[in-house]
Amino acid sequence: MTDILIIAVVALVVGFAGWYLRKARKRGAGCIGCPNGGCCSGKCQHSKDTGS
């Protein structure tokens, strides 16, 4: 019984992760979960050093 419960929990976590990735791709997210908010090097209009 414990094995079935563990398998169900792992399958649920993997299923939710896949659902989240598919949903993010449909929104057009390039870097899913990126801490830079999709503003990686070369993708931003402005550079990192502003020269101030």
pLDDT of residue 51: 45
Q: What is the mean pLDDT of the chain?
A: 78
pLDDT of residue 41: 64
Measured distance CA(39)–CA(25) in Å, rounded: 16
- Look up residue 23 and give its amino acid: K
Among residues of the chain, what percentage have pLDDT more than 70? 60
Measured distance CA(29)–CA(22) in Å, rounded: 10
The pLDDT tens digits of the residues spanning 16-32 come to: 999 998 888 888 776 77
Residue 3 has pLDDT above 90, yes or no: yes
